[in-house]
Amino acid sequence: MTGSSGLKVISIGLDLTIALEDHAKGSRGDAHRRQAEYAELSAGYTAIVKTPRSQQYRPYYWGKGHAVLPTLSASPLQFPPDAYRLATEVYRKQGADLVVAQDPFSTGLAGYWLKRRLGIPLCIQVHNDMIGCKWWMRESRANRLMEPLGAWLIRRADTVQVVSHTIRDRLTARGMVAERAWNIMTGAGIDARQFENADGSALRAQLLGDRYRHIALFMGRLVKQKDLPTLMRAASIVAQKSPDTLFLLVGDGDERAYLERLVPALGLETNLRLPNGVGPEEAPSYFAACDLFVMSSVYEGKARALVEAACAGKPIVSTAVSGADEVVDEGETGHIVPLRDPSALADRILRLLADPEKAAGMGLRGRALARERYDRQRNLAEMVRMWEATAGTADR
């Protein structure tokens, strides 16, 4: 593990699973592992998490100076002042060198109050392409109302952690000082070994049976952002020309019922399945079992699944969203296509299926690049440098 920064950090976040002590004790989920790593990198790490009022959430501690504090907020609007109050108590008891807000809206607002009233330097994380992104703003009126607040807050942060150069450029266009941006992947990278060493042979044999020769995989949330109807329309084109191809859309989300209705409408009863989402322990075997990974999103931050697919040595076909061109080298490790273009998506999938040897070579090149670009220890070291720059204890 990268050496400690010697800094005391207050983190304000939204991930409810972090606030469940039973998950921490069982070491379940990537979020708890990340929090433990951040604690090791600091002299004191307090994670304040947005939670509703419930007996299942309570403060817990894992070592001196390391704690998780649920806000137990009565409503979403009450969360920022609750987070501010808890952070103020922590600051008065043990001090803090910086506060890290895990979004540019509600947690960012609490972080800004701490910066303004207590003088604690502020780092705001922007994990998704939201501010200045028309696709995100079209999703809801709430998004359109929140967007100006996010733009205002990022201009007042000491540092801003982004996950792609696309997001950095959007934020710069909205007034952020470019030199304050740090491009570090969410979770400080991927543990590539679990994907490189996964064995998907048994799962692949089970899925292929006697009917199929190829597997095209999507794994992620079944939500509007992923624009899965476009992927399904591409799948219907591919199925006509390569009927021995099976599409797997693995995940859960609000769009499941709609997507299930689309299956017969597009004639995909034979060539597409919608398995439920799988846990982090099972995911590597799905990547290992497939021939290629495909993503049709209209916006992203830097999709973790793209990096996981690259680490698994799979060629990728992705829409031209934020972060895609930092994972996929066009024509070398996969293909990037325009948004909402099922014909282009299908064409690149068919190209990969038609030349398995070339596709396998693209996957191996993608794995080598991902290993270099998203090495976990290097990304953790970069995060420490960002903390130090936020706190003013080191030059960039």
100 is written with which tokens? 């890290």
* CATH number for 79: 3.40.50.2000
In a domain, 28, yes or no: yes
* 6 against 146, higher pLDDT: 146
Specify if 396 maps to a domain.
Answer: no
1 in a domain, yes or no? no
Confidence of residue 29 (pLDDT cuts 50, 70, 90): low
Residue 301 has pLDDT above 80, yes or no: yes
Same domain, 83 and 223: no
Q: How many CB atoms lie within 10 A of CB 46?
A: 27
Interval 176-205: pLDDT, tens: 999 999 999 876 567 788 899 999 999 999
Q: 92 and 172: one domain? A: yes
Mean pLDDT computed over 67-91: 97
CB 292 within 8 A of CB 315: yes
Considering the domain architecture, whether residues 294 and 180 belong to the same structural domain is answered as: no
pLDDT band of 36, cuts 50, 70, 90? confident
Instruction: Give the number of other CB atoms < 10 A from CB of residue 201.
Output: 11
Side by side, which strands form the sheet with 122-125?
60-61, 66-70, 44-49, 8-13, 98-101, 122-125, 159-162, 181-183
- The answer as to whether 300 is a domain residue is yes
The position carrying tokens 């020309």 is 241
Q: Report the predicted TM-score, pTM, of the whole model to 2 decimal places.
A: 0.92
**Same domain as 345, residue 281:** yes
Q: What is the mean pLDDT of the chain?
A: 93
Q: Which residues pair with 67 in a beta bridge?
A: 46, 61
Q: Is pLDDT above 90 for 374?
A: no
Distance CA 94, CA 81 (A): 20
pLDDT of residue 4: 65
Q: Which helix (H) or strand (E) holds 216?
A: strand 214-219
CB 175 within 8 A of CB 155: yes
Answer whether residue 287 shows pLDDT above 90: yes
> Whole domain around residue 317: which residue ranges?
193-373
Close Cβ partners of 325 (under 8 Å, ≥ 6 residues apart): 336
CA angle 350, 353, 356 (to 5 degrees): 150
